[in-house]
Structure 1
């Protein structure tokens, strides 16, 4: 029997699906897929790094279950969320003669989940998607909820589609192969859930961070709690017309910083989110909305996890305030040119603030450079 420690159900009617969380689930993937998706063939989209560590495990499992599969490998890194790689993956799906009734497996981190998911949404006008996230960030956030997409020179995730997976299979053992920096970057998204509306979860993370990083039982519990949180939000607001925007806490600043640093290794996505969440708390405090000590508490926790928390922590520095403001103006939450931010009244009290004054944001960013 598969070693499933947690099951989270995403109740979206006829598009409902399960998130299975457990140790060494890749070894059980063939049996799970054969039971849930009999007679299918699978295109496995992954990157060059994951292809070395995790792809053989999955292929052996699929072979043992008698399931046909074709690997589709792209370069590792944020740069693969591009038009060129989207075309490559989509054409590879078609070249493998995968039919609409077959399925695409996204085996990798957030980049692969977004890229493979978008390709699945458009290949043959829509194919089933199975997410097998191998990074902490992907297991707690990007593999759940149906957001797919690629980056544009104009900004992060500006081209994409909502395409819910049919199954999410999160193998905890894949996290043991992550570099410490990658694991810490994913942890920023874990902390985010506590900061949005679950103060008790944030306090729990303060008490259990060492065990989460050490691979104890708290790791699986943290991932399950994050997935349950996101599932509730997605069920309520699947297409981000309302409360789902709260999941973007820290992302408006973070995405602007990612664009400024070239969507590369200078600043990983989770690192941008970490800085962005500190900035969101600090900006809220400046506006008199939140107590300033909460900013310090959030910053201290993220720093203890090995994450950058200030603009000065970014290798090579950042561009001008004008450049950052131009990126912020392209944020997906902008409506009729008006800026929308996720701000907070304190830990666990995030809210959506519309019509934020650009001049106030620009002055704040100027001051944060000091």
Structure 2
């Protein structure tokens, strides 16, 4: 088992990574609780919910709340229903909420934990590759019809327990989704790692290599978050690809494309904008080929309306005083944030849609 410590401003917490550690949950936890609420979705529940419930001793009352799988569950309606469950089961400030699932479950459970009784302890149990990113760093949120994650806050978990055995049950779309964030971490940090990834075939990845990449990705995020927890400076670099990704998810309808797949397409666009804005030398063609060879749904981007996407980008959290601030790369490992004029961005997006439609 591997342990990575995240030094957050509110408290330090550990990310523990290993196979089958869901069965050791209570033994790995730093404190005990009389009441625990496990939040999961209807796809994860039949696979792992009973394992996690059984990991608690008879001294702990364990409750469950199951939501529909998919990004659409990060909604005000599901959030309200979740609070009803907390109140019905009389959770108090010394209770624990566990988010068992992917990024959607973690975000929803974390936001509920941050607001119920002004904050109760929250433990992340990610079950997807994508959640190696979302489970670390303390961002929790729900969506609004006008945009992704518009309602949320910074709220750190007390611990992250990452059982990599749960990744074996992932469908291909979720594996692609996870690698959208893995390759982002490589582009932000390490040219050699980036080259290695872009020469790989996701479906042929062995567990040893996957665990290595997940640990490296978590460490990249940890190093950035520790320096800039509230996203006032370099943490913005972690949004590489996300401005277009969030607009795509909202425009196509939450759940029509996974978050990581949208990020992967958004990164392709960010590389193109980087070439035009800062004359960057980047492996854009190699990256494009990697997306296509690994069956990313790039064709979806060809169906979008550039005016509608620009409008949604302007609602994004990364927009400041109506100025679109874009995360770009000068080279692999050298990110920057640059203001891009709306007319310029629209032109780049129109060209990008044409390029995507040819593949």
Length-normalised TM-score, structure 2: 0.94
- The equivalent residue for 2:5 is 9
Q: CA deviation at 1:298?
A: 1.7
- The equivalent residue for 1:304 is 293
Alignment partners' CA distance in 1, 2:260 and 2:323? 26
2:136 equivalent to 1:150: no
- The equivalent residue for 2:219 is 228
Equivalent of residue 321 in structure 1, options 292, 306, 313: 306
Equivalent of residue 180 in structure 2, options 182, 188, 194: 188
Q: CA deviation at 1:162?
A: 0.6
- The equivalent residue for 2:258 is 268
2:276 equivalent to 1:278: no
2:100 equivalent to 1:107: yes
Alignment partners' CA distance in 2, 1:136 and 1:101? 30
Secondary structure of 2:39's aligned partner: strand
- The equivalent residue for 2:16 is 20
Q: How does 1:151-190 map to 2 (within 5 A)?
A: 151-190=143-182
Q: CA deviation at 1:236?
A: 0.5
Equivalent of residue 235 in structure 2, options 221, 238, 244: 244
C-alpha contact 1:105 1:130 (8 A) present in aligned 2: yes
Equivalent of residue 362 in structure 1, options 326, 340, 346: 346
Secondary structure of 2:148's aligned partner: strand
Aligned length: 354
Q: How does 1:129-148 map to 2 (within 5 A)?
A: 129-138=122-131, 140-148=132-140
User: Which blocks of at least 5 consecutive residues in structure 1 are unaligned?
Assistant: none
Q: CA RMSD in A?
A: 1.7
Q: CA deviation at 1:301?
A: 2.5
Alignment partners' CA distance in 1, 2:116 and 2:159? 18
Instruction: Label 1:271 to 1:97 Cα distance change in 2 as closer, same or farther (>3 A).
Output: same
- The equivalent residue for 2:77 is 84
Q: CA deviation at 1:96?
A: 1.0
Deviations 1:113-170 (A, max 9, x none): 00000000000110011000001001x2000000000111110111001100000000
Q: Which moved more, 1:327-336 or 1:10-19?
A: 10-19
Q: CA deviation at 1:203?
A: 2.4
Instruction: Label 1:340 to 1:13 Cα distance change in 2 as closer, same or farther (>3 A).
Output: closer
Q: CA deviation at 1:210?
A: 4.6
Alignment partners' CA distance in 2, 1:347 and 1:37? 41
Equivalent of residue 46 in structure 1, options 37, 40, 48: 40
User: Which blocks of at least 5 consecutive residues in structure 2 are unaligned?
Assistant: 355-359
C-alpha contact 1:158 1:332 (8 A) present in aligned 2: yes
Q: CA deviation at 1:206?
A: 3.8
Alignment partners' CA distance in 1, 2:305 and 2:352? 12
Alignment partners' CA distance in 1, 2:136 and 2:42? 23
| Runs of 4+ displaced beyond 4 Å | 210-213
C-alpha contact 2:176 2:202 (8 A) present in aligned 1: no
C-alpha contact 2:26 2:32 (8 A) present in aligned 1: no
2:56 equivalent to 1:62: yes
Q: Which moved more, 1:114-123 or 1:211-220?
A: 211-220
- The equivalent residue for 1:339 is 324
Deviations 1:45-100 (A, max 9, x none): 1111111111111112224x643210111111111000000111112112111111
Alignment partners' CA distance in 2, 1:161 and 1:181? 28
Secondary structure of 2:315's aligned partner: coil
Q: CA deviation at 1:279?
A: 0.4
Instruction: Label 1:241 to 1:17 Cα distance change in 2 as closer, same or farther (>3 A).
Output: same
Alignment partners' CA distance in 1, 2:78 and 2:285? 41
Secondary structure of 2:253's aligned partner: coil
